[in-house]
Amino acid sequence: MTDQVTPADLTARIEQIAAELKIPNDALGGVSQQLSDAVALAGFQASTGTIAFAGQYGTGTLAVQYNDQNGGFSSSWPQWAFELAKAALLANKRVWVASNGDPFGPNLVFVMILP
């Protein structure tokens, strides 16, 4: 029998790796190399991009279109991630998204709004 890794386990792994990082002030406009390295070390893929749309289907499912340098990814996102995507869209901000696989809703580990 194999152990299942939960989203909480994945988040805890990133938090543990990033806990001791010191980021220079000049790196705060985007994603620092140290944070990118920590996410990769945890075994996730991450990219920066934009939110093309954030909305809701009649069924109540929350839909987001995330675009990065590799193309677009449209899927149902969990409530916590949808709220960040919506805020980024309305503020015309870029996002940094990490996932366990392609950046589709069920694979999301974190969504960060960039300045």
Which tens digits make up the pLDDT trace of 3-61? 676 767 767 776 776 666 555 544 445 777 888 888 888 889 999 999 999 999 999 99
pLDDT in tens, 74-84: 999 999 999 99
DSSP string, 20-43: T----GGGTTS--HHHHHHHHHTT
What is the fold of 7-113?
OB fold (Dihydrolipoamide Acetyltransferase, E2P) (2.40.50)
